[in-house]
Chains A and B, each alone.
Chain A
Amino acid sequence: MNTVMLRRSRGVLAMALLAFAGLASAIMPKEFQSPEEAERYRALSHEIRCVMCQNQSLADSPAGIADDLRYQLLARMREGYSDEQIRDWFVARYGEFVLYRPRFNPTTWALWIGPFLVLAAGVWGLVAVIRRQRPLPTVRPESEDC
């Protein structure tokens, strides 16, 4: 009963949504064709940044444009776009800004690799410090002061 009602009322829904554009909320019922589709939609909509309410992901934003973009996201998914193609679609219109996961390119090498370089440098330093330790005097039983 629910599915049929929702399908029929989607046209009405669209009209109502337009009328209530001022009160738009991120909660927008959608009928998914499968749990996998729902999950993929959820994951992608969290990865995309809202261009208006820039502190929120596309999934959470109540902005009107976010609503439009969520609709577009689902449309692209159903047209058979891959995840990367969908990202490209959004980037072509709004720039790299719109992706919360920065893509790996020369501009972001420092971002993605930096922390591991720091870690490697730290490990190297750690090893150096350990090697530099003086040889121990004869072992006295020490209290287990924990």
Chain B
Amino acid sequence: MLAELGNFAMLLALLLATALTVFPLVGAQRGNVAWMRLARPLAYGQTLLIAISYVLLTWVFVQHDLSVAYVANNSHHLLPLVYKISGVWGAHEGSLLLWVLILAIWISAVARFSRDLPLPVVARVLAVMGFVSVGFLSFTAFTSNPFERLLPAAAVGQDLNPLLQDPGLIFHPPLLYAGYVGFAVAFGFAVAALLDGRVDAQWVRWSRPWTNVAWGFLTLGILLGSYWAYYELGWGGWWFWDPVENASFMPWLAGLALIHSQAVSEKRGSFHAWTLLLAIAAFSLSLLGAFLVRSGVLTSVHAFATDPQRGMYILAFLAVVVGGSLALYALRAPKNEGKPFVASSRETLLLANNLLMTAATIMILLGTLYPLLVDALGLGQISVGAPYFGVLFTLLMAPVVLLIPFGPLSRWGREENMPLLLRLMLPWFVLSLIVLVLVLLFWPNGSLRTAAGIAGGLWVLAGVGVYLWRRLKVQRQSLTAENVGMVLAHAGLGVFVVGVLVLESTQIQRDVAARPGMSFEVRGYTFEFVGVEERMGPNFVSDFGTVRVSRDGEPVATLHPEKRHYKAGGQVMTEASYDPGIFRDVYVALGDPLDANRTEWAVRLYVKPFIRWIWIGALLMAIGAFVVAFDRRFRRRVNETEALPAASRGAPA
């Protein structure tokens, strides 16, 4: 009964979403105020219905109704309650409903906070976002319905994939979706502006905080995914350039370019075409990501169950949304006007940033789809993995690292006093080189990459420091929230660079055959294998290991790597154990028993220097993005602000 109600609510929501797409849009084109006014109530109504539907799905899940196919396939009566709630988004159908719910929340937020925007703009934006909602709702309702009944009802549930029975599942997908879906706001604004024919700073200013927040969420989502892979998969890796990871990284890069491009568009009235294109690209890449994960086109550890019918449906939707918006762009994009600038201005640096981010995005897209292309053309089978992506990404990002200190230091438009800037940064450049040589000579187990990481991080952080000093001390101006956000994000990059390069060049692992009482030495740490005992969990039996870690005789940590055998599905999960630290993680994973008595075990020992710096750096970037969104300039009413650039005021395309 409840499942049917949930399905009904979802279908009603689809109806409202369709109305939301049609009436306000037509109303805006024709100047019909009544129809335009429908936008907000339709948006709220749709959100309410989807929320009801989602709550009902959760309820059905928690009540463990085995007559609902989705519950039977993804749950088990022994599953802890928290995973009965979060398991709703653990598989294809339910996660789609979450996607739709988050989209609906964003639509309502736009409806709620757009009081000071002209009605036609609001109507168009909500209509475009409504169209996206129609696509996903219909996809869910007709090809991937979570409310489908299973008759006769299953006797026992198949259990949630043990990989997902973890706190990571609780946060990673919602944050990730909040990011992906959030780009729909900028997308909506871009398409609305193109439809309107009026592309000016207004739409950019309004969509900036939303884009920043979306990007911030996406950063957090990716960060969590990386952290989760690290402690859950047991191999101590944090990024694999897996197709699905790439699918989330591409919108992130495009979003990053978009954020910077929006800043230029808003303040200088230039690059509107670029910003529009990036807004379309960021969301298109989000949709592409959804497609890649759910269509079975690429093999990946993340992919949901594959089905060509579903794949074609999403592809068709993608073609309409992305193809349509890009066609609109081709027909209506404005020329690049706005305040002029010279070669040595901030505009140039930001354009260069756009360029490098775009090249990186294209590179990742190329690498991800290349095996498919080669296969489709009958040219054989190849693989493109970490050795390709890692190398090319580093090459493309190196110029970014080198140039980033100059961005905030340079000025808009006019001839920058380049000799001055170079003089400002020169001492730090020299210092970085000195540090590079010192690290190369003295860092234990270090290599050129270690040195490059530390020198690079130092260079970036120095740039941030010089900016702060110059602004606060020399120019004696306070920092706006936008400035603070920028400082945090750029500092985050510096921290990240240190983390990645030092980790990748100095981490160490050792596989050992351990009997109780044996000790092993890795990089100065002593690992004493105490033994393995059997323990019971709520829905699993665990081989519970104990390893005592010490250094120079001083105890450091007692680690408990496990191997969990899940009763329902029979899967075996490795639960690694680690001791976190700012400057290193010590990490242990338990393998298989090596003898029939289960006294000798295969154990893997890791020391991972600076790995936390990767996530701390990413966290700083995310916080920076959120801080920027709260800048006062975005909360001023549009008609109150300082004069907009003349070229942008109401100029038709």
Contact = CB atoms under 8 A, between A and B. Distances in A.
Interface of A: 2, 6, 9, 12-13, 16-17, 19-20, 23-30, 38, 42, 46-47, 49, 54-57, 59-60, 95-102, 107-108, 110-112, 114-115, 118-119, 122-123, 126, 129-130, 133-136, 139, 142, 144-146
Contact of B299 (A20, A55, A95): A55
B518 interface: yes
B602 A27 contact: yes
Nearest to B512: A29
Interface stretch (B192-200, B426-434, B550-558, B591-599): B591-599
Contact of B387 (A54, A100, A114, A115): A100
Q: Which of A9, A122, A144, A146 has the most CB of B within 10 A?
A: A146
Tell me what chain B mostly uses at the interface: helix, strand, loop, or mixed. Answer: mixed
B513 A111 contact: no
A23 B362 contact: no
Given A2-B512, A115-B366, 15 more contacts: A20-B593, A46-B386, A96-B380, A101-B387, A110-B366, A110-B370, A114-B363, A115-B360, A118-B362, A119-B396, A122-B358, A126-B348, A133-B340, A136-B340, A144-B411
A90 to B, nearest CB: 12
Contacts of A54: 299
B392 interface: yes
A129 B351 contact: yes
Interface stretch (B75-83, B118-126, B477-485): B477-485
Interface string B324-342: 0000000000001000111
Contacts of B380: 95-96, 107
Contacts of A122: 355, 358-359
A142 B383 contact: no
A142 B363 contact: no
A145 B267 contact: yes
Contacts of A17: 594
B384 interface: yes
Contact of B381 (A20, A29, A96): A96
B543 to A, nearest CB: 11
Contact of A13 (B358, B384, B513, B591): B513
B392 A115 contact: yes
B367 A25 contact: no
Contacts of B392: 115
Nearest to B341: A133
5 contacts: A27-B589, A55-B299, A59-B235, A126-B352, A139-B414
B591 A27 contact: yes
Interface in B442-497: 471, 475, 477, 480, 482-483
Contacts of A29: 511-513, 594, 602
B168 interface: no
B653 interface: no
A1 B524 CA distance: 19
A111 B359 contact: no
A144 B470 CA distance: 12
Interface residues of B, number: 70
A100 B366 contact: no
B379 A107 contact: yes
Contacts of A99: 382-383
Nearest to B511: A29
A16 B414 CA distance: 74
Contact of B355 (A55, A100, A123, A145): A123
Q: Which of B342, B382, B512 has the most CB of A within 10 A?
A: B382
A56 B386 CA distance: 11
Q: Which of A54, A108, A130, A134 has the most CB of B within 10 A?
A: A130
Q: Which of A6, A9, A98, A114 has the most CB of B within 10 A?
A: A114
Given A136-B340, A136-B342, A25 B592 contact: yes
A54 B385 CA distance: 11
Interface of B: 235, 237, 242, 267, 299-301, 336, 340-343, 348, 351-352, 355-356, 358-360, 362-363, 366-367, 370, 374, 379-388, 392, 396, 408, 411-415, 471, 475, 477, 480, 482-483, 509-513, 518, 520, 572, 574, 589-596, 602-604
Contacts of A146: 408, 471, 480, 482-483
A27 B592 contact: yes
B366 A111 contact: yes
Given A55-B299, A122-B355, A97 B382 contact: yes
Given A26-B235, A60-B235, A123-B355, A102 B383 contact: yes
B477 A55 contact: no
A144 B591 CA distance: 60
Nearest to B467: A146
B343 A130 contact: yes
A2 B591 CA distance: 18
Contacts of B509: 42
Contacts of B384: 100, 102, 111
A49 B242 CA distance: 12
B412 A142 contact: yes
Given A27-B602, A100-B385, A107-B379, A114 B358 contact: no
Nearest to A98: B383
Contact of A12 (B415, B510, B512, B595): B595
A95 to B, nearest CB: 6
Contacts of B477: 144
Contacts of A2: 512, 518, 520
Contacts of B592: 20, 23-25, 27
Contact of B351 (A126, A135, A144): A126
A17 B594 CA distance: 7
B308 to A, nearest CB: 19
B572 A23 contact: yes
B242 to A, nearest CB: 7
Contact of A25 (B362, B382, B520, B602): B602
Contact of A136 (B367, B382, B414, B594): B414
Contacts of B355: 119, 122-123, 126
Nearest to B385: A100
B607 to A, nearest CB: 14
A46 B392 CA distance: 17
Nearest to A114: B366
A110 B383 CA distance: 14
Contact of B301 (A20, A55, A59): A55
